[in-house]
Amino acid sequence: MESSESTLLAASQVVDFPNGEAAPRKKCCRACGAELQHAFVDLGMSPLANSYLKAADLDRMEPFYPLSTYVCDQCLLVQLEEFESPEAIFGDYAYFSSYSDSWLRHAKAYTEMMVARFGFDAGSQIMEIASNDGYLLRNFKDMGIPVLGVEPARNVAKVAEAAGIPTVVKFFGVQTAQELKAQGRQADLLIGNNVLAHVPNLNDFVGGMKIVLKPQGIITMEFPHLLQLMQQNQFDTIYHEHFSYFSFLTVEQVFARHGLTLFDVEEIPTHGGSLRIYGRHAEDAGKPVSERVSRLKDKEQQAGLDELATYAAFGQQVRETKHALLDFLIQAKRAGKTVVGYGAPAKGNTLLNYCGVRTDFIDYTVDRNPHKQDRFLPGTHIPIHGPEMIEQTRPDYLLILPWNLKEEVMEQMAHIRTWGGQFVVPIPTLQVYP
């Protein structure tokens, strides 16, 4: 059941003409409901970025959807339309957080910091929305603090439960929050890492957080920062499971609409530059608003994120990146060089599909996640192997698709230098590293 407000603020509407024909859809902002009229960037047609294919799927029709983003002229939320339901995207999910060593270190450091700062203990309840395979909550569990995960992907939740992390297998929103509250399960700390962007019904999601948070509870959420996306040319983080792209100026409005105050914020390096926001009930006056909030708002305003005109220039730098990558690959192939990929992240699928790069340029890619191995990238049909394939084929270039992990990848794969192999990083600008 959706809240009346979230139903009112649907992402789009269809209006019928008197003769029975359907008029073009009216696109509406999922945050404030205003009509969307301004493009941010158009990345063409693309498949779902996490829909990895089996060999038997290669000869079947593969759905492609418009990957066009808009910016709302009222609240300045950058957003995609919803073309596929969350159930179709997240019901059986290929992303497992535990396969990135740097992300595991990030989760452990976060846990230690939160316990030290706010004093969570055995009498506290930690709850994480989109808890994935329990990679973060197990740190709190190891410290003797009660935990509960909420994770819609059943295959991923099973891994968490096998590790002793109690997990509710549901999508989060007002209805799930009401059910949890009725069961006496409310959070002293409510966590959501890299989930806010994945929510098509944004008001229902944030409204649910208001319900499930204890009166003195704290929310922390992490998500890629729109300022970094624009300044660092991170357009490949745009894909269909990311419905929204947030500045602090915009996300503060979203939370305030549901009686939640953002009292602190940190700029953190994950995913190419993210925000960690701290929220509380508006009625909870015991947590004053930090100076970091006003400093970040000033920073965003100085960068022009409060002005619609700033968003109009982004498309040209995206096209320049496409040209640079294609120029490199064409020259490498004409010189008889071999190019393979490292990683099979969703962002890589946006990049490769937008640039039209298939096996004519990249022989294969590798990934540590066994759930992706022996499958094929959506759209491009590039095969995915285990990392040992690199040693067997000794390519000239290794294109790092998860560029946000380039240091980790270059350390893991340093042995390619023994045969003269080089690393290629496409974002923010194409760079070749010996």
* Per-residue pLDDT reduced to its tens digit, 115-162: 999 999 999 999 999 999 999 999 999 999 999 999 998 888 999 999
- Is 207 within the bounds of a domain? yes
Within this chain, do residues 158 and 284 fall inside the same structural domain, yes or no? yes
Tell whether the model's pLDDT for residue 8 goes beyond 90: no
The tokens of 428 are what?
A: 């923010």
Within this chain, do residues 203 and 339 fall inside the same structural domain, yes or no? no
Residue keyed to tokens 């009346």: 4
Q: What is the 3-state secondary structure (H, E, C) of 287-336?
A: CCCCHHHHHHHHHHHHCCCCCHHHHCCHHHHHHHHHHHHHHHHHHHHHCC
| Among 36, 55, 82, residue at a domain's last position | 82
pLDDT for the residue 163: 92
The tokens of 179 are what?
A: 């059910």
**Sorting pLDDT into bands at 50, 70 and 90, what band is 35?**
very high
Tell whether the model's pLDDT for residue 6 goes beyond 50: no
Within this chain, do residues 248 and 283 fall inside the same structural domain, yes or no? yes
Tell whether the model's pLDDT for residue 217 goes beyond 60: yes
**Averaged confidence pLDDT in the chain:** 91
- Is 158 within the bounds of a domain? yes
* Per-residue pLDDT reduced to its tens digit, 260-308: 999 999 999 988 899 999 999 999 999 999 999 999 999 999 999 999 9
Cβ atoms of residues 34 and 74 within 8 Å: yes
Within this chain, do residues 279 and 377 fall inside the same structural domain, yes or no? no
Within this chain, do residues 108 and 171 fall inside the same structural domain, yes or no? yes
pTM: 0.85
Q: What is the amino acid identity at position 328? A: F
Within this chain, do residues 114 and 226 fall inside the same structural domain, yes or no? yes
- Is 180 within the bounds of a domain? yes
Residue keyed to tokens 């498309």: 315
Angle, helix 248-256 to helix 202-212, in steps of 10 degrees: 60
- Quickly list DSSP for 29-57: -TTT-PBP-EEEEEEEEE--TT-PBPGGG
Q: Name the residue range of residue 331's domain.
A: 315-433
Number of domains in the chain: 3
Q: How many CB atoms lie within 10 A of CB 211?
A: 17
| Three-class DSSP category at 339 | strand
Cβ atoms of residues 299 and 228 within 8 Å: no
Within this chain, do residues 133 and 184 fall inside the same structural domain, yes or no? yes
- Is 90 within the bounds of a domain? no
- Is 91 within the bounds of a domain? no
Within this chain, do residues 72 and 116 fall inside the same structural domain, yes or no? no
* Per-residue pLDDT reduced to its tens digit, 246-264: 999 999 999 999 999 999 9
| Among 311, 326, 342, residue at a domain's last position | 311
Report H helices in 168-276: 174-182, 202-212, 226-231, 248-256
* Per-residue pLDDT reduced to its tens digit, 350-377: 999 999 999 999 999 999 999 899 999 9
**Sorting pLDDT into bands at 50, 70 and 90, what band is 96?**
low
**Sorting pLDDT into bands at 50, 70 and 90, what band is 88?**
low
Closest to 12 measured CA to CA, from 201, 155, 257, 192: 201
| Three-class DSSP category at 378 | coil
Within this chain, do residues 298 and 322 fall inside the same structural domain, yes or no? no
The tokens of 411 are what?
A: 């350390």
Within this chain, do residues 322 and 212 fall inside the same structural domain, yes or no? no
CA gyration radius, the chain: 22
pLDDT for the residue 18: 45
Closest to 237 measured CA to CA, from 31, 11, 6, 40: 40
Tell whether the torsion through CA atoms of 402, 405, 408 and 410 is positive or negative: positive
DSSP 225: B
pLDDT for the residue 272: 86
| Among 276, 311, 346, residue at a domain's last position | 311
CATH of residue 414's domain is 3.40.50.720
**Sorting pLDDT into bands at 50, 70 and 90, what band is 102?**
confident
pLDDT for the residue 95: 52
**Sorting pLDDT into bands at 50, 70 and 90, what band is 97?**
low
- Is 88 within the bounds of a domain? no
Tell whether the model's pLDDT for residue 83 goes beyond 80: no
- Is 259 within the bounds of a domain? yes
79, β-bridge pairs: 70, 244
d(CA 280, CA 177): 16
Within this chain, do residues 66 and 110 fall inside the same structural domain, yes or no? no
Within this chain, do residues 259 and 369 fall inside the same structural domain, yes or no? no
Residue keyed to tokens 């009930």: 281
- CA 331 from centre of chain: 33
pLDDT for the residue 136: 95
* Per-residue pLDDT reduced to its tens digit, 232-244: 999 999 999 899 9
Tell whether the model's pLDDT for residue 21 goes beyond 70: no
- Is 179 within the bounds of a domain? yes
| Three-class DSSP category at 174 | helix
Q: What is the mean pLDDT of residues 54-74?
A: 95
CATH of residue 111's domain is 3.40.50.150
